Homo-oligomer: A and B are copies of this chain.
Amino acid sequence: MERALTPGDRLPEDALGERFNVSRTIARQALGQLAGEGLVELRRNRIAVVASPSWEEARDTFDVRISLERIVVQRLAGRLSAEQQATLEAHIAGEERASGGPEPASIRLATEFHLLLAEMTGSPVLRRYVAELGYRCALILSLYSRPHSSDCAVSEHREIVAALVAGNAGHAVTLMDHHLDAVAERARILTEPQREHDLIRLLAPYVDG
């Protein structure tokens, strides 16, 4: 979500295990799960790498994501509790605060906004699928998009919440469609191949303890 890693980056079991202070067995399990979620590519006898979705897979992922999030807003329109409303507004305020700061934080918050909505449907299945697609879309944008500019997105988030609170399902769906279309639209120009990464250094912030 924060683009600490880039598609194609190598993920050797040993190095991961050393970084997170676990054995290869554990690192291997984690890689297996991530492969199941489409974030890691796992080919037999080959080193695991961060997934590099093809252009077709990218398009497909975005298309299904749009359909799924449409379901989310349809379920939520006019049904947000006061508490949920407050949570969403607090989140958007956080996004605004972060919008001037470091990019990884604002990218993460933008993704988490959608996750928050999915969570509020109360459907674990919907939540899981939206989360999975959200993560994959973040990965795709790091492959295909130009640098993130989050300013517009925050105001769109605000409008979506307003439509949900107003109970205008149709409008909320339209807004969400346009919002996600706009996000997908960023994935138009291929960025040049990324720099070499130092796995050990990059993952340092993510080690517990």
Contact = CB atoms under 8 A, between A and B. Distances in A.
Interface of A: 29, 32-33, 36, 57, 60-61, 63-64, 67, 71, 123-126, 129, 133
Contacts of A33: 32, 36
B36 A125 contact: no
Given A60-B125, A64-B126, 6 more contacts: A29-B32, A32-B32, A32-B33, A64-B129, A67-B71, A125-B133
A67 B63 CA distance: 15
A123 B64 contact: yes
B123 A63 contact: yes
Contacts of A64: 71, 123, 125-126, 129
Which among A60, A61, A133 has the greatest number of chain B C-beta atoms within 10 A?
A: A60
A126 B29 CA distance: 25
A29 to B, nearest CB: 7
20 contacts: A29-B32, A32-B32, A32-B33, A33-B36, A36-B36, A57-B124, A60-B123, A60-B124, A60-B125, A60-B126, A61-B125, A63-B123, A64-B71, A64-B123, A64-B125, A64-B126, A64-B129, A67-B71, A125-B133, A129-B129
Nearest to A133: B125
A56 to B, nearest CB: 9
Contacts of A71: 64, 67
A121 to B, nearest CB: 9
Nearest to A65: B125
A62 to B, nearest CB: 10
Nearest to A128: B38
Contacts of A36: 33, 36
A76 to B, nearest CB: 13
A130 to B, nearest CB: 10
Contacts of A63: 123
A57 B122 CA distance: 11
